[in-house]
Amino acid sequence: MTANLLPTFPTSRPRRLRKSPEIRALVRETHLSPKDFIFPLFVRHGKDIKQEISSMPGIYQWSVDNLADEIKEISTLGIPAVILFGIPNKKDPIGIENYDPGGIVQQAIQEIKHTNPEMVVITDVCLCEYTDHGHCGILNHGPERPYNNLPEDYVLNDETLDVLRKVVISHVKAGADIVAPSGMIDGMVGVIRQSLDEAQFEHISILSYAIKYSSFFYGPFRDAAESPPAFGDRKSHQMDPANSREALREAALDVKEGADFLMVKPALPYLDIIRLIRQTYPELPLAAYNVSGEYSMLKAAAANGWLDEKGVVLEALTSIKRAGADLILTYHAKEAAAWLETNSN
Ligand code: PBG
């Protein structure tokens, strides 16, 4: 029925359906649940560390020995999954700790699975937290600079794919359930699928950061993961915020390469893209990453008393789901899950 077939006032009175909390609940179209959330965790070497990230109040870097209690709390809140980001001991041009069996993420995966085998463990697969230059791949840099016609800070594509292959195998050997390549390197999903299958990890799924924009909203994350690019930016691989047709192309490639889930990132400034991908690929689960800057904005406004934190957070997360996301990666996950438990209308 199109809107112009509906009777008009006074026959039609939309307010009838808003009369009481019970009636509003009956006609509510979007229901947020802790089961929709994936909580990002930052892990680092050391003992007894729980270090707050200054630009992300309430979010911490953890040492592995402190993870068990945190994981128990996350499970008790009904959140089914975490995504891991590691801060290595030592950074280098390639980021070798990324595929070290004793690396920080590998240790964290084992600790989480030991604490709660049911917790779904997703790993972010990228080079930027591990490289000394902070870029998401191997650079066209140094004495061997392979491509004279490209700038020195150009992230080399196929050379980087070879590193990503090693990283995913190392993560799944440690026990990861899902790998999430986030570097926007061409062909990443295809080579990861192939490497997993060849190593008999055909049951491991790929959550592709298929549509990742080059966004200023990642600012606080780069404090959290200690991964700001030492020079330059990520515009040669992440997408231009001005583009939406290009999002269709990125998604199509990842679907063909075997992605099991698609992701749009960031979330709130890109709700149109979430809707577009949801409508174009109804078959695939869709995740949205409510990124660090989106979190910090609401936290800062709430800390100043300018916004009601619970209200704006639940409204923002509901909007991401309403736009079409099935899953939301969010730093608000724990607080939101607790509020949803006790929510009235
Ligand atoms: C890359 C990665 C980034 C984020 C998630 N994975 C940073 C970047 O691309 O610069 C950002 C997440 C956030 O801002 O919360 N490994």
Lowest model confidence (mean pLDDT) among 7-11, 144-148, 151-155, 160-164: 144-148
Q: Whose CA is nearest to atom 5 of ligand 1?
A: 182
pLDDT tens profile 106-143: 999 999 999 999 999 999 999 999 999 999 999 998 77
- Catalytic site residues? 212, 265
- Please give the distance of CA 97 from its chain centroid, rounded to a whole number: 21
pLDDT tens profile 282-291: 999 999 999 9
Distance 344 CA to ligand 1 centre (A): 34
Report percent pLDDT > 70 for the chain.
99
- Cα Rg of the chain (Å, integer): 21
pLDDT value of position 232: 87
Q: How far apart are CA 114 and CA 175, in angstroms?
A: 10
Place of tokens 């359930």: 177
Place of tokens 């959140």: 79
Between 335 and 148, name the one with better pLDDT.
335
pLDDT tens profile 164-190: 999 999 999 999 999 999 999 999 999
Contact 339, 314 (CB under 8 A): yes
Q: Whose CA is nearest to atom 11 of ligand 1?
A: 218
Distance 209 CA to ligand 1 centre (A): 10
pLDDT tens profile 63-90: 999 999 999 999 999 999 999 999 999 9
Q: By C-alpha distance, which of 301, 341, 342 is closest to 37? A: 341
pLDDT value of position 1: 61
Distance 250 CA to ligand 1 centre (A): 18
Q: How far apart are CA 136 and CA 13, in angstroms?
A: 54
In sequence order, what DSSP letters do the residues of 34-82 get, joined into one string?
Answer: GGGEEEEEEEESSSS-EEEETTEEEEEEEEGGGHHHHHHHHHHTT--EE
Q: Can you tell me the mean pLDDT for 236-251? A: 97
- Please give the distance of CA 30 from its chain centroid, rounded to a whole number: 21
Contact 337, 77 (CB under 8 A): yes
Distance 287 CA to ligand 1 centre (A): 15
pTM comes to 0.96
pLDDT value of position 345: 47
Pocket of ligand 1 (CB under 6 A): 124, 126, 128, 182, 218, 221-222, 234, 291-292
- Which domains does the chain carry? 31-344 (3.20.20.70)
pLDDT value of position 149: 87
Q: Whose CA is nearest to atom 8 of ligand 1?
A: 218
Q: Can you tell me the mean pLDDT for 253-269? A: 98
Q: Can you tell me the mean pLDDT for 207-213? A: 98
Q: Whose CA is nearest to atom 14 of ligand 1?
A: 218
